[in-house]
Amino acid sequence: MAAEQFSAVEVIRAKRDGGELSNEMIDWTIDAYTRGVIAEEQMSALNMAIYFQGMNRNEISRWTAAMINSGERMDFSALTDPSGKKLATTDKHSTGGVGDKITLPLAPLVASFGVAVPQLSGRGLGHTGGTLDKLEAIPGWKADLSNEELFSQLSNVGAVICAAGTGLAPADKKLYALRDVTATVEAIPLIASSIMSKKIAEGTGTLVLDVKVGSGAFMKDEAMARELAETMVNLGTDASVNTVALLTNMETPLGLTAGNAIEVEESVEVLAGGGPSDVVELTVALATEMLAGAGIKDVDVAGALQNGKAMDVWRRMIAAQGGDPDAKLPVAKESHTVVAEAEGVLLKLDAMDIGLAAWTLGAGRARKEDSVQAGAGVRMHVKPGALVRRGEPIATLLTDTPEKMEHAIELVQRAIMIGSADDRPDTRLILDRIAAK
Residues with a catalytic annotation lie at: 93, 172, 179, 194, 198
**Phi and psi at residue 43, to the nearest 5°:** -70, -30
3-class SS at 401?
Answer: coil
Element (H, E) at 317: helix 309-320
> What is the dihedral sign for C-alpha 315, 321, 322, 327?
negative
Query: How far is Cα 192 from Cα 180, in angstroms, rounded to an integer?
Result: 15
Which residues are within 8 A (CB) of 82 and not within 5 positions of it... i.e. 6 or more apart? 155, 156
Please give the radius of gyration of the chain, using alpha carbons only, rounded to the nearest integer. 22
Q: Which residues pair with 209 in a beta bridge?
A: 93, 245
Query: How far is Cα 158 from Cα 232, in angstroms, rounded to an integer?
Result: 26
3-class SS at 416?
Answer: strand
> What is the dihedral sign for C-alpha 30, 34, 36, 40?
positive
Residue-wise DSSP of 83-126 = TS-B--BEEEEE---SS--THHHHHHHHHTTT-BEEEEE---BT
Query: How far is Cα 54 from Cα 190, in angstroms, rounded to an integer?
Result: 9
Query: How far is Cα 171 from Cα 131, in angstroms, rounded to an integer?
Result: 23
Q: How many Cβ atoms sit within 10 Å of the Cβ of residue 226?
A: 18
- CA angle in degrees (0–180, nearest 5) for 83-88-93: 135
- Residue 203 DSSP label: T
Go through the chain and tell me how many residues it has. Answer: 437
Query: How far is Cα 322 from Cα 308, in angstroms, rounded to an integer?
Result: 22
Amino acid in the structure at residue 142:
K
Q: Which residues pair with 213 in a beta bridge?
A: 219, 249
Query: How far is Cα 231 from Cα 193, in angstroms, rounded to an integer?
Result: 9
3-class SS at 433?
Answer: strand
Give CA separation, 325 vs 108, 156, 334, in Å: 13, 18, 25
